[in-house]
């Protein structure tokens, strides 16, 4: 499915703020959607409504997961996937105006790294970056009332939306859950592997109750690779969202006003 990249795409230059639609992209802009996780880097091309145009390419997150190593993977995938006009990235940490401030499950070199600018230089296209859970939620929430998104993967991500607008940098995963231990300590990938599904599900139930007590959300959405490990009965106002919702969030990142997203 993937096509060879045009040489134009690889120009190492800063891109303009708004994407130019390439002649080959059909009726609307094509987006290179990237999801960076603690275990995998995933990339695919989407059309203007978020429909996949290619397979989803996945590589293991490099170790050490430095900015240079991660950007190299994205650049290789971009070449393989073919023409695109703009890039959206879900990143597992705090992002403000394209700059990374935390990266709990990646290399420390990410701290204060101007990721959006650097990736834009590497790919020659405009780039928008937001927290991975925020991106996932943008594709999944209804846009009405108070909605909470949590993602269960290597870490625990969270996004809180008021009428569809995310509040910046919730980072619920690093908040104490029990004693000095955080939600991520109890519900992240390592905890699931260590404790097993049954115990992890019991903890998840407890966490959901606790989060409801804090936010009184109207709806809760649960995404991430380990959402598939949920066996407990979810409350009526909670639902699992798919990877596709997360991918659609990559398109929403371009549809929304960046100032409103504060990412």
Choose, by CB under 6 A, the member of 50, 98, 173, 249 that binds ligand BGC.
Answer: 173
Instruction: Report the alpha-carbon distance of residue 118 to residue 191 in Å, rounded.
Output: 34
Site string for ligand BGC, 188-227 (x = CB under 6 A): ----------------------------------------
**Which stretch in 7-15, 46-54, 155-163, 234-242 sits in contact with ligand BGC by CB under 6 A?**
155-163
Per the CB < 8 A criterion, the answer to whether 168 and 262 are in contact is: yes
The answer to whether residue 29 forms part of the interface with ligand BGC (CB under 6 A) is no
- In the complex, minimum distance from the CB of residue 103 to ligand BGC, in angstroms, rounded to a whole number: 8
**Which stretch in 167-175, 198-206, 231-239, 247-255 sits in contact with ligand BGC by CB under 6 A?**
167-175
- In the complex, minimum distance from the CB of residue 259 to ligand BGC, in angstroms, rounded to a whole number: 21
Choose, by CB under 6 A, the member of 31, 105, 120, 226 that binds ligand BGC.
Answer: 105
Choose, by CB under 6 A, the member of 35, 107, 184, 245 that binds ligand BGC.
Answer: 184
Q: For the purposes of burial, counting CB atoms within 10 Å of the CB of 72, is it exposed (0-12), middle (13-18) or buried (19 or more)?
A: middle
Per the CB < 8 A criterion, the answer to whether 208 and 235 are in contact is: yes
- In the complex, minimum distance from the CB of residue 180 to ligand BGC, in angstroms, rounded to a whole number: 17
Helices (H) and strands (E) in the chain, counts: 8, 14
- In the complex, minimum distance from the CB of residue 133 to ligand BGC, in angstroms, rounded to a whole number: 4
The answer to whether residue 246 forms part of the interface with ligand BGC (CB under 6 A) is no
Q: Which residues contact 170 (CB under 8 A, 6 or more apart)?
A: 133, 158, 159, 160
Residue nearest to ligand BGC (CB): 155
Instruction: Report the alpha-carbon distance of residue 166 to residue 179 in Å, rounded.
Output: 28
Choose, by CB under 6 A, the member of 19, 82, 93, 223 that binds ligand BGC.
Answer: 93
The residue (of 15 and 152) whose beta carbon lies closer to ligand BGC is: 152
* Cα 173–Cα 178–Cα 183 angle in degrees, nearest 5: 15
- With CB under 6 A, what is the number of residues at the site for ligand BGC? 17
Nearest CA to 237 among 259, 263, 262, 215?
A: 215
β-pair partners for 240? 222
Which SS3 state, helix, strand or coil, does residue 176 take?
strand
Across the chain, which distance is largest between two alpha carbons, in Å? 57
Choose, by CB under 6 A, the member of 21, 71, 72, 104 that binds ligand BGC.
Answer: 104
Give the CA-trace dihedral at 38, 262, 143, 249, to 10 degrees.
-40
Distance set, CA 251 to CA 68, 198, 238 (Å): 25, 36, 24
Site string for ligand BGC, 120-149 (x = CB under 6 A): -----------xxx----------------
Q: Which residues bind ligand BGC (CB under 6 A)?
A: 92-93, 102, 104-105, 131-133, 151, 153, 155-157, 171, 173-174, 184
């Amino acid at each position: 499915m993937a096509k060879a990249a045009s040489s134009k795409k690889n120009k190492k230059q800063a891109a303009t703020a708004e994407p130019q639609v390439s002649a080959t992209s059909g009726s609307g802009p094509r987006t290179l959607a990237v999801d960076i996780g603690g275990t995998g880097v995933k990339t695919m091309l989407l059309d203007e409504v978020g429909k996949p145009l290619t397979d989803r390419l996945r590589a293991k997150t490099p170790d050490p997961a430095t900015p240079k190593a991660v950007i190299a993977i994205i650049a290789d995938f971009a070449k393989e996937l073919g023409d695109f006009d703009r890039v959206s990235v879900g990143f597992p940490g705090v992002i403000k105006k394209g700059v990374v401030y935390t990266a709990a499950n990646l290399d420390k070199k990410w701290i204060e790294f101007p990721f959006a600018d650097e990736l834009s230089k590497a790919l020659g296209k405009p780039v928008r970056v937001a927290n991975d859970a925020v991106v996932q939620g943008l594709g999944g929430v209804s846009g009405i009332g108070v909605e909470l998104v949590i993602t269960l993967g290597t870490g625990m991500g969270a996004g809180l939306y008021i009428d569809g607008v995310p509040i910046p940098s919730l980072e619920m995963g690093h908040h104490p859950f029990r004693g000095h231990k955080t939600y991520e300590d109890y519900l992240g990938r390592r905890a699931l592997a260590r404790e097993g599904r049954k115990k992890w599900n019991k903890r998840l139930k407890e966490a959901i109750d606790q989060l409801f007590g804090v936010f009184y959300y109207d709806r809760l959405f649960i995404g991430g690779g380990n959402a598939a490990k949920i066996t407990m009965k979810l409350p009526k106002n909670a639902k699992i969202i798919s990877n596709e919702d997360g991918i659609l969030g990559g398109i929403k990142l371009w549809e929304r006003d960046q100032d409103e997203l504060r990412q």
